[in-house]
Amino acid sequence: MRMPASSPATEAPAHMDTSVEIEDVAVRFRTRRKDVTALHDVSLSVAAGEFVAIVGPSGCGKSTLLKLVSGLMKPSKGQVTLLGEKVDGPRRDIGYVFQRAALLEWRSARKNILLQAEMRGMPSAVARERADELIAMTGLTGFEDAYPHELSGGMQQRVALCRALLHRPPVLLMDEPFGALDALTREHMNIELRRIWRETGTTILLVTHSIPEAVYLADRVVVMSARPGTIDELIAVDLPLERDYGKTMSEPGFARATGRIRDLLGAATSAD
C-alpha cells in the first residue's frame, strides 16, 4: 500500500467498534490460460456506523471486495471479519444492493420488499410494519402495489434499497446502486441515501464510479488502482455531518477531496 503512514484516515477511529475488518486480502482467479490477480494486499478497517465509499477504475476489484465482505466469494489469502466473526460462506447479517435492482417482476413493490422477510422467516407482522416504515422513508408511498415494469429506474432502486434494509442489517453493501440512473435522479438518490444512512445508523460500503457521489456521501473514500487491484489511498472527507447537496458542492473540503481523488485516478489511468 502506498498510503502515508501518518494519514488520519488509515484506521477507523479507535473509540468505535469495528464493523468490517479486511486483513491482507488477495484474490486470484485461475483461468485456463493464465492466473489473474483481482485483488492484492488489501487491508481496510471500517467502523460501526461509518459510510465508506470505494472508487477506482474498472476492473480494480471493487465489486470483488464487497463479495468478500458478504461471503459470496472467498479470498485466496488473508481474511475478512464481519461484526467480529470471520466470514466463511454467505452472510445473512448484511443487506446487498446491486446496480440492477434485481426485482422479481411477478411481485409488486411491497411484495418484492417482503421477499427478504419470507426468505429469512421473519414474523410477518413485524416485516409488514417495517416495510411500511421503509416505504414511507424512501418515498415509495403510492407505489407499493405497482409492479417493477411500471416503475422508473429510480423507483425500482428504491424498492431494492427497502428490500436490503428490511431486516435492519448492521452492514449495507452497495455495488454501484445508482450507476444506471440519469444524473438528476442520481442526485436525488444521493440526498436520500445520506438521509437514510443518518436515520438508520447502518454501516455502508458503497462502490461507485462517481467521484462527487463518493465524496458527498462518505466519511472516508477508498481509492483503488487496477492490475492488481489494491488500495492506493484512504481519504478522510472533511465535511460536516449535515450536508446540504448544493452547499457541499462548493465547500473547500469537497473540492480538496474530489481533486485529490481525480489526481490519483488520473495517475492510475495514465500509468496503464
**Residues in the site for other proteins, rule: CB under 8 A?**
70, 72, 90-92, 94-96, 98, 100, 102, 104-107, 115-116, 118-120, 139, 141-143, 146-147, 149-152, 154-155, 185, 188-189, 191-192
Q: At 84, give phi and psi (nearest 5°).
A: 80, 5
Q: How far is the CB of 213 from other proteins (least distance, A)?
A: 15
Identify the burial level of 144 via C-beta atoms within 10 angstroms of its C-beta, where 0-12 means exposed, 13-18 middle and 19 or more buried: middle
Residue 51 or 96: the one with the smaller Cβ distance to other proteins is 96
DSSP character string of 35-55:
EEEEEEEEEEEEETT-EEEEE
Q: How far is the CB of 139 from other proteins (least distance, A)?
A: 3
Q: How far is the CB of 232 from other proteins (least distance, A)?
A: 28
How many Å apart are CA 181 and CA 42, to the nearest integer?
30
Q: How far is the CB of 209 from other proteins (least distance, A)?
A: 18
How many Å apart are CA 134 and CA 118, to the nearest integer?
17
Q: Is residue 178 within 8 Å of residue 208, measured between CB atoms?
A: yes
Residue 141 or 269: the one with the smaller Cβ distance to other proteins is 141
Q: How far is the CB of 116 from other proteins (least distance, A)?
A: 6
* Structural element, H or E, at residue 69: helix 62-70
Residue 37 or 185: the one with the smaller Cβ distance to other proteins is 185
Residue 185 or 210: the one with the smaller Cβ distance to other proteins is 185
The angle, 0 to 180 degrees and rounded to 10, between the axes of the packed helices 124-137 and 153-165 is 140
Residue 34 or 149: the one with the smaller Cβ distance to other proteins is 149
Q: With helix as H, strand as E and coil as C, how does 105-140 read?
A: CCCCHHHHHHHHHHHHCCCHHHHHHHHHHHHHHCCC
> In 3-state terms, what secondary structure has residue 230?
strand
DSSP character string of 73-112:
S--SEEEEEETTEE--S--SSEEEE-SS----TTS-HHHH
Residue 154 or 235: the one with the smaller Cβ distance to other proteins is 154
Residue 160 or 264: the one with the smaller Cβ distance to other proteins is 160
How many Å apart are CA 192 and CA 139, to the nearest integer?
9
Q: How far is the CB of 244 from other proteins (least distance, A)?
A: 12
